[in-house]
């Protein structure tokens, strides 16, 4: 079957306690408006984030009220 996680276009946010030196970190005020909207919607509803239309990269940690890592769904 032709399924692969790399083609998955759905991301999720996982709360993390700390980040290491190699991690890419962004403050929530760096997100463009659409991404910001999707980010908060995902946080509130525990919903997934569409990878298209947002400028979030896998593995990036976003600093908001907590630190959130962008992970594959």
Partner 1 sequence: MTEYVIIGDGISGSSAAETLREEDPESSITVITDEGEPLYNRILIKEHAKGKLPEAPISIHDEGWYEERDIDLSLNTHVTGLDTDAKTIHTHEGADISYDKLLIATGGTPTQLPVDNSDADGIHHFWTFQDARKIRESADAADEGVIVGAGLLGIDFAAVCGAQGVEGKYLMRGDRWWRYALSNEGAEIMHEGMREKGVEPVFDSGVDHFETDDDGRVVAAVDPNGDRYECDFAGVAIGLTFNTEFLGDIGLEQENGILVDEYMQTNLEDVYAAGDITRFHDVLLGERAQNGSWGSAKEQGRVAGVNMAADDEAEGFQWVSSYSITHFDFPFLSFGHPTLGDDYAERKYSDTEWRRVAFKDGKIVGGVLIGDLSPQSKFKQLMREQRVVADQKEVLLEQTVDLDNLAPPQEQ
Enumerate binding residues for partner 1 (CB under 8 A): 18-25, 27-30, 33-34, 36-37, 40-41, 44, 61, 63-65, 67
| Residue placing its CB nearer to partner 1 in the complex, 10 or 30 | 30
**Which of 38, 51 has the CB closer to partner 1?**
38
Q: Which residues of 12-22 are buried (b: 16+ CB within 10 A; e: fewer)?
A: ebeeeeeeeee
- Residue 16 Cβ vs partner 1, minimum distance, rounded to whole Å: 11
Residue 72, SS3 per DSSP: strand
Token pair belonging to 18: 């700390």
């Amino acid at each position: 079957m032709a399924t692969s996680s790399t083609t998955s276009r759905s991301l999720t946010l996982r709360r993390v306690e700390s980040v290491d030196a190699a991690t890419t970190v962004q403050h929530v005020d760096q997100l463009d408006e659409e991404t910001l909207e999707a980010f908060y919607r995902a946080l509130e509803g525990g919903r997934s984030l569409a990878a298209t239309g947002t400028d979030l990269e896998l593995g990036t940690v976003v600093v908001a009220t907590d630190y959130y890592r962008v992970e594959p769904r």
